[in-house]
Amino acid sequence: MSLSSDATLEEKITELQKILREPHLIPSLSQGSRIVLLTVEPKKEKVAMDRIEQLYEGRFSKVNVAKVLVEAADDYGLAQLREDMEFFGESFVEEFSQKLQQRIITEILRASEEGEFVVVHRLGILNGLLRLNPIIEPLVTRLKKPVVVIYPGTRRDEELCFLDSRHTASVYRTAKI
């Protein structure tokens, strides 16, 4: 992919379209995975999702990470969640995060059975709770269809900054747009 780090959202969407036309080539662009990171300014995440829906209406499935988190909290019970968080502190947050991570992975795998590809969005909710790499790595060998992750942040060459923070993100086995 030859897009510069400061490409417009529309240029990135055009690049995504090219990649999705030949999904069999994604592993060669992504160190063996079928995952594409679409890096967008955090404020333009909804615009990116709307554009993908406009282009591929009815042809893909979605995983809204914020919704998965809310469902996990509801299933746990909000009162119990608060009580356990107050009593156990950081160890509870770590345990809950691991369960949430597994739930997100399961949801992506389930969604990959429907449609031509999956779009994972609303990742910002994970900031401070989970990293993306532990979600991506277990999926690398298990996906048969492409997964597009709308990544709210910036890209400078191969360096990613989640939510435009000063801290750089991990190196992901993904194609990066």
Which CATH number fits the domain that encloses residue 98? Answer: 3.40.50
Residue 97, in any domain of the structure: yes
2 confidence band (pLDDT: 50, 70, 90): low
Nearest to 161 by CA among 41, 75, 56: 41
The answer as to whether 162 is a domain residue is yes
Structure tokens at 150: 């709308």
How many domains would you assign to the chain?
1
Q: Is residue 63 part of a domain?
A: yes
Mean pLDDT of the chain: 89
pLDDT band at 5 (very low <50, low <70, confident <90, very high): low
pLDDT for the residue numbered 4:
66
DSSP codes, 142-169: T-SS-EEEEEEEEEETTEEEETT-SS--
For 99-111, b where at least 16 C-beta lie within 10 A, e where not — what string?
A: ebbebbbebbbeb
Instruction: Give the separation between CA 112 and CA 108, rounded to whole angstroms.
Output: 6
Whole domain around residue 169: which residue ranges? 9-176
Instruction: Determine the pLDDT at residue 82.
Output: 84
Q: Is residue 168 a part of any domain in this protein?
A: yes
